[in-house]
Amino acid sequence: ALQGFTEVSNYSFVSEEQAERFGMRPDEHVRVLNPIAADQSLMRRSLIPGIFSNLEENSKHFASFRLFEVGNEIDKRAGELPRQIAHLVAAVFNREGDGSAGLFELKRLAGILAPGVDVQATDALSYEHPARTVDILWQGEMVGRLFELHPSTAKGRIEGRAAILDLNLDRVLELRPVQTKCRQVKRFP
């Protein structure tokens, strides 16, 4: 487990309904020609729909929990093979409280993975809380988002507050500081 978080694994597929719930058009996805199930007809462009399903199911049984998934998002490109982008999505759920503790916990986690991260207020997407959404900046570049789920997204599905961190791991690895090699100091002058 990562910092008290439980790892989950979700399929790399989503349904058209899941894509639309999170503001993505189905035609922006790579379509699976022969899906094994009707709700798995598109390759995922985000790990968030899978994490949302995990939040929905686990919130029925637990008053609080922490989850994370590391996986690839599939980026459709015209005339080329799709590109896979490694992401980490972590979520903190709590049935009690105002949800701020989950946001601070996820900012702390982002700081562990990319020391010195900063946050900047940004416009919320349809499923993000308008007053609790920030971009995660590292070394002057945007590497992810931190937000609380919009109450209308969770209404009737999740009874409690859920904060989510979505971090582009490929971008974090590109920006990490270059490690310098040091020579061993001579024992005798």
Secondary structure string (H, E, C) spanning the chain: CECCEEECCCCCEECHHHHHHCCCCHHHCCECCCCCCHHHCEECCCCHHHHHHHHHHHCCCCCEEEEEEEEEEEECCCCCCCEEEEEEEEEEEECCCCCHHHHHHHHHHHHHHCCCCEEEECCCCCCEEEEEEEEEEECCEEEEEEEEECHHHHCCCCCCEEEEEEEEHHHHHHHCCCCCCCCCCCCCC
* Span 174-185, average pLDDT: 77
What pLDDT, on a 0 to 100 scale, did the predictor assign at position 1?
A: 46
Token pair 């790892």 in the structure block, residue? 7
* Span 56-60, average pLDDT: 95
What are 104's two structure tokens?
Answer: 């601070």
* Span 137-159, average pLDDT: 92
Kindly indicate the confidence band of residue 2, based on its pLDDT and cuts at 50, 70 and 90.
Answer: low
Token pair 């029925």 in the structure block, residue? 60
What pLDDT, on a 0 to 100 scale, did the predictor assign at position 132?
A: 95
What pLDDT, on a 0 to 100 scale, did the predictor assign at position 110?
A: 94
Whole-model pTM: value is: 0.87
| Of 94-103, 121-130, 177-186, the least confident | 177-186
Kindly indicate the confidence band of residue 120, based on its pLDDT and cuts at 50, 70 and 90.
Answer: very high
pLDDT tens per residue across span 86-102: 999 999 999 999 989 99
* Span 19-39, average pLDDT: 88
Query: Is 115:96 a contact under the CB 8 Å cutoff?
Result: no
Q: Is the pLDDT of residue 189 over 80?
A: no
Q: Return the amino acid letter for 32.
A: V
* Span 136-144, average pLDDT: 94
